Amino acid sequence: MKPRKSREGTAHAPGTLGRTIPMLLLTLLVIALAVPAGVAVSPGFRGPARPPEPAAAGPWQQLPASLSTPDGGPGTAGAMRPLSDAAPVPEAAVLTAALTATLKTDGAGSFSGVVQDAITGKVLFDRSGDEVRAPASNIKLLTAAAALRTLGPDRRFSTRVVAGPKPGSVVLTGGGDVLLGAGKSAPDAVLGRGGLATLAESTVDALRKAGTTGPVSVLLDDSLFTGPSLSPAWSPEDVAAGEVAPLFPLALNSARFDPAVTTGPRPRDAAMTAAEAFAARLSAAGAAAGLTVAPGVARLPAARKPSPAAGGQAGKVLAEVQSATVSQQVDLMLRTSDNYLAEVLGRMVAVASGKPASNAGAVAAVLRQLEELGIPAATLRAADLAGLTLDNKVSARQLAAVVRAMTTGTDTRLRSALAGFPVAGLTGTLGSRYTDTSTARGAGLVRAKTGTLNTVIALSGYVVDADGRLLVFSFIGNGLTPGAAGNKTALDRTASVLAGCGCR
């Protein structure tokens, strides 16, 4: 039976954790606020350039009397102190013994893994760390790093309406935003930051000012991406189940019919679905202004793509909405393990790198960024950028190196990825995990990207140990017994050992 994608879990509200481990609720809420603050102010996250500070005794792991704010301002009670690169590094032999006791498969297969001190890079645990394995969704860490380096954290993608090749025609032009909303633009949102209703209203205003009176026809330009819209490595069953969909440079709700429903089949033509929704909103907005919209939407042939150089008004921008920033999109992609968004970000990396915006171009552009980061990628194999295939091959050492680059590397643009890592027991694909006594010590402390296929499970991320030392890690299980619950628990217990370890 062909390996299939297994859903990685859904986010749970922090309050759900209290049903299982109520005594940790306050601690988890404090950590959820405090860890990002530690990221912002800690020398450990900026690298060892600053002189070391005195080591703290782990105040972030003590049960607080009341909630505190990250800055430790008035009215707070014991806000988390900055991490210190003077905190002791765990002893490799002690840590290895502890992890060996927990990193065991439930049935068939095996685990590989690497744990490193984030600041020095010292390897503290190594089990087959250079063996390339199927990483499942952990490959999204590579996509995130490449997007932040190539596009920049503050980059936004534009969806434009331009004047068409014939009078009275307009062209909806995709620029990479697949998180469009059907309603008005929501400036504080990530999903729906750019809204089709707002775009339609602005288009009507522009048409009125231009004196347009006749029926308006809507065309679609989705030519930014090239090549097949599906990776040849993807299983047709996974596509049919909605794990991913044909890729286009514009879509509603990350190519979902309903933003509130993140499972089940997706639109087969997300760009046309978005264009038809835009045309409907243009018709509604135009009715109030005396403008009519012709029924139907047609794709604009590439040879007729409007260009200002052609003369007249063809190609003139009539209206525009912008996406959330790349940093915000990476955050969403990592937290929810959004396959469609990961693949689109990869193709936008290809566009920015001057490569074809195809599956092959995106993979090549992402791997090039790893080499520029100083992470050897000669042994790495990538067939997609979302992790839906066993054809991907990445080592635990390579994944740990990516996480280390994000936490302490010299390219500070990568810091933007850190907040997107799911928090154990609280957010994203880790929201329903770390809720029993064997893993509770890692709840609120472990931040890691999950990865799950039927025979694969992976977890890569970062954690501050009991002494205040920042550690990065990656664990990958391959050849596992499908559905064996103990494998996920083994990874969570192992990461919890890192959180609770002084290991000296």
The per-residue pLDDT for range 130-167, each reduced to its tens digit, is: 999 999 999 999 999 999 999 999 999 999 999 999 99
Domains of the chain: 14-18+81-152+335-500 (3.40.710.10), 158-324 (3.50.80.20)
pLDDT band per the 50, 70, 90 thresholds, residue 231: very high
pLDDT above 60 (res 123) = yes
CA atoms of 58 and 466, how far apart (whole Å): 5
Catalytic residue among 140, 393, 449, 488, which?
140
- For 14-23, what is the mean pLDDT? 38
137 noted as active-site residue: yes
The per-residue pLDDT for range 327-346, each reduced to its tens digit, is: 999 999 999 999 999 999 99
Query: Between these two residues, 3 and 210, which has the higher pLDDT value?
Result: 210
Catalytic residue among 68, 112, 327, 337, which?
337
140 noted as active-site residue: yes
Q: What pLDDT, on the 0 to 100 scale, is given for residue 16?
A: 38
Q: What one-character-per-residue DSSP string does 269-300 give?
A: SHHHHHHHHHHHHHHHHHHTTT--EEEEEEEP
Instruction: Point out which residues pair with 160 in neighbouring strands.
Output: 173, 320
List C-alpha distances in Å: 142 to 343, 346, 370, 455. 11, 9, 7, 21
User: What are the start-end ranges of the H helices in 177-269?
Assistant: 196-209, 236-241
Residue 274's nearest CA partner among 344, 181, 170 is: 181
Q: What is the DSSP letter of 443?
A: T
Query: Between these two residues, 447 and 25, which has the higher pLDDT value?
Result: 447
Query: Between these two residues, 290 and 79, which has the higher pLDDT value?
Result: 290
The per-residue pLDDT for range 242-254, each reduced to its tens digit, is: 999 999 999 999 9
Q: What pLDDT, on the 0 to 100 scale, is given for residue 301?
A: 83
- For 416-430, what is the mean pLDDT? 96
Q: What pLDDT, on the 0 to 100 scale, is given for residue 311?
A: 39
